[in-house]
Chain A
Amino acid sequence: MSHSEESKNLESSLHGLAESFLSRRALLAGAGGLGAASLLGLGETSSASAAAKKTVRWANWGLYLDYDNKSHKYPTLEAFKKATGYNATYQEAIDDNDSFTAKVAPQLRIKRDIGYDVVVPTEWMASQWVANKWVQRFDDAAVPNKKNVLPFLANRPFDPGRHYSLPWAGIIAGVAWNKKALPKGINTLDQLFSNSNKGRIEVLSEMRDTVGLVMMWQGTDISKPFSADKFHNAVDFIAKKVKDGYIRQIKGQSYSEDLVSGDAIAVIGWSGDINQLNLQNGNQFGFAIPESGGTFSTDNMMIPSTSPNKAGAEALINYYYDPVVAAKVANYITYICPVAGAQEAMAKINPAQAKNTLIFPDEKMWAKLKVFRDLTKKEKSDFSTAFQAASGNG
């Protein structure tokens, strides 16, 4: 068979393939596939044009709002709708800071609606949003509850006076484990990376949490200036654990699914997640801050510069800064509550939770937590390149 004949054959066989697809498509159309598709399309355009003014579209992390398993609704969000007359949609759209921001950044740059009126990035990323002018300044009169923010969070360097952001919750990264597989629990990173956990360990793709925990274990104070060597030492350790097959995957919040499925039995994870997983799956998991310390940061509610519904977003943020509402949320999500007065409100809802130091940390708890220091642009690039290389992506 000659070359040209062969390519002709190839061509006709590709053509045959296209034809068989075409007939499948015709079959679909006959089955009403097209009808359904056009109906869906219609629904979307009408909701976008008519309701955009009223609906507050909220992008948040998973396991981050009180949820009722029976009604499949978010009780406090339903109450917000009733109280204010705004409609609201809630999406667990953020799996980690980098990927979420990279997804919406192109639209923010050309000033097109990103589809959300409230977003909740972590502080280090929130500071980049503020620096890039991707956020709208609050109208203080529309957010009177702003005064309830805990004093130590009221004047963070990236947003003194909290004109662009309010913390949604404080997050602690520590270690979590499957109680059945590890009845003794985990108190140190040595125990986390022990031989018996090999291949069943997962760590967060949030660099500051995973590398931060390892650095603290290696004796570095991550909140004070440290040299690049200290950082790279920790990354080298992680890279070795990946190479030797200890670390199964490095991922965002979806580590929680692997804990539930049993694919992972020991993880670096976030405090509140574990409590919610326990609520949903029967008390199966444990969480602890390692003896060497855990990382602390906040996730911050902000209004993207592209939001067409600033008033609605402000109403929502203000609503969640009511101490009683904040207590209801904290009671469910069990992350650190940034709203003053919520502890007193919690005492009425659930007295035991009012003493939970993972929600309302005491002095002893604060002593164990450190905030990862700000990085320069060059450091951020070098460090995240090194961390990605350790994650197999470099």
Chain B
Amino acid sequence: MTLTVAPVKKPRSRKIGMPYLLLLPGMLWLITFFLIPILTLVKTSVNMDLKNYDPTSAATGSFWGNFWEAFRTHEAPFARSFIYALAATLIALCIAYPLAYGIAFKAGRWKNVLLVLVVAPFFTSFILRTIAWKQILGQQGPVFHLLLNLHLVTYQSHITASAGAVIAGLSYNFLPFMTLPLYSSLERIDPRTLEASGDLYANAFTTFRKVTLPLSLPGVVAGTLLTFIPAAGDYVNAEILGNPSTTMIGNVINAQFLRTSNYTLAAALSFVFMVMIIGIVLFYISRAGTEELV
């Protein structure tokens, strides 16, 4: 017996060390490029007093005081970020679901071509695509002319420089992030479950409602998260397609950092925004994970 125990012990001790060793590169990466920057961010957020901000004074701010001040004075752009991102996520979901469904179940041999087309926009720069939208929706663009001819707008009105244009831009720019996870979860559905549903006298709509939709919900959750998070933090769409009344929190952070050089406020806003996003995501995942999906 003693002979057999000894060789067993050795591999086990190696097994305990192994996971930590495998984690090491990732941990080092996260510490260097995530943890340290976050700590710097927090430090910067309190290095001046935001309540009585004066760049020439040496007074530092209090931890909670500065975050509260940053939030309190920027409720509107925070609210706009989340509302626009939510609207864009819903629009992207409505467009992407039928698209992903079509590719997964109806595309046949065109499946791969269509998937390439979904990611094709990534081959050009994000900013260029957004500027293209400005041209498309602009005063001399096709959309405006069509609406003008249909008498839905007057020459005095404009489509760009509005909240609608910002949301449209966000929905478009993050559409692939919605489509791909939806496709991947739809594509994995076992066709036999759909047949079984039919065998049990469910019509097409009931099959979709009772079988396809619930089975694709993981894709919906992944897609909405991948769309909502970057959309809420985006500032390019609001910068190019919006007006000064449609600025999102990213624009404010950008301006505070680059124009007024108020690094304290920029850092505090970034931190508050990050905490809010984490809160929303945790809430969403816990809800989606327990009740909605059963």
Q: Which residues of A line the B interface, CB within 8 A?
A: 1, 3, 6-7, 9-10, 12-14, 16-17, 20-21, 24, 27, 98-99, 102-103, 196, 198-200, 205, 242-243, 245, 247-250, 261-263, 377-378, 381, 384-385, 388, 390-394
> Could you tell me if B244 and A385 are in contact, using CB atoms closer than 8 angstroms?
no
A261:B139 contact, CB within 8 angstroms: yes
Could you give 20 example pairs across A and B, Cβ below 8 Å? Answer: A3-B286, A6-B289, A6-B293, A17-B222, A24-B116, A98-B259, A102-B261, A198-B156, A205-B259, A248-B243, A263-B139, A381-B54, A381-B260, A381-B261, A385-B53, A385-B260, A390-B244, A392-B251, A392-B252, A393-B256
A14 to B224 Cα, complex, angstroms: 12
Closest to A101 in B: B258
Which of B77, B183, B244, B288 is the most central at the interface, judged by chain A CB atoms within 10 Å of its CB?
A: B244
Knowing A10-B221, A10-B222 touch, does A391 contact B255 (C-beta < 8 A)? yes
Distance between Cα atoms of A12 and B139 in the complex (Å) = 45
A393 touches B255 (CB 8 A): yes
A102 contacts which of B119, B158, B257, B288 (Cβ < 8 Å)?
B257
Please tell me if the beta carbons of B181 and A17 are within 8 angstroms of each other in the complex.
yes
Please give me the residue from chain A that is nearest to B185 by CB atom. Answer: A13
Q: Tell me, yes or no, whether B184 is within 8 Å of chain A by CB.
A: yes
The docked-state distance in angstroms from the alpha carbon of A12 to that of B257 is 38
With A20-B115, A385-B262, A392-B247 given, is the CB distance from A10 to B218 under 8 Å? yes
> Interface readout for B159-186 with A: 1 if CB under 8 Å, 0 if not?
0110000000000000000001101110
- Measured between alpha carbons, how far is A163 from B244 in the docked complex, in Å? 40
Contacts of A242 in B (CB 8 A): 243-245
CB pair B54 A1 closer than 8 Å: no
- A-contacting residues of B (Cβ < 8 Å)? 53-56, 73-74, 77, 115-116, 119, 134-135, 138-140, 156-158, 160-161, 180-181, 183-185, 188, 218-219, 221-222, 226, 243-247, 251-252, 254-262, 285-286, 288-290, 293-294
Q: Does A13 contact B219, Cβ atoms closer than 8 Å? A: yes
- Chain B residue numbers with a CB within 8 Å of A392 are 77, 243-247, 251-252
Q: Are B56 and A248 in contact (CB under 8 A)?
A: no
Residues of A within 8 A of B258 (CB): 98-99, 102-103
Given the contacts A10-B218, A263-B139, A393-B251, A102 and B259 also touching, CB distance less than 8 Å: yes
Q: Which residues of A sit under 8 angstroms from B290, Cβ to Cβ?
A: 3, 6
Contacts of A390 in B (CB 8 A): 244
Contact A381 B222 (CB under 8 A): no
Using Cβ atoms and an 8 Å threshold, which residues of chain B touch A13? 181, 184-185, 218-219, 222
Q: Inside 8 A of A248's CB, which chain B residues have their CB? A: 158, 161, 243
Once A13-B181, A13-B222 are accepted as A-B contacts, the answer to whether A381 and B262 lie under 8 Å apart by CB is yes
- Cα–Cα, bound, A333→B293 (Å): 64
Cross-interface CB contact of A388 among B221, B226, B246, B260, cutoff 8 Å: B260
Asked whether, in the complex, the Cβ of A384 is within 8 Å of the Cβ of B158, the reply is: no
How far is B290's CA from A168's CA once the two chains are assembled, in angstroms?
66
Asked, given contacts A16-B185, A263-B139, A393-B255, whether A9 binds B262 with beta carbons under 8 Å apart, the answer is: no
Q: Give CA–CA (A326, B156) in the complex, Å.
A: 42
Given contacts A3-B289, A263-B139, A393-B252, is CB(A20)–CB(B160) below 8 Å?
no
The distance from the CB of A360 to the nearest CB of chain B, in whole angstroms, is 34
A1 vs B215: C-alpha distance when bound (angstroms): 10
Whole-angstrom distance between the alpha carbons of A199 and B122 in the complex?
A: 33
The 7 A-B pairs with the shortest beta carbon distances in the complex, nearest first, are A16-B184, A393-B255, A392-B244, A9-B218, A392-B247, A102-B258, A262-B139
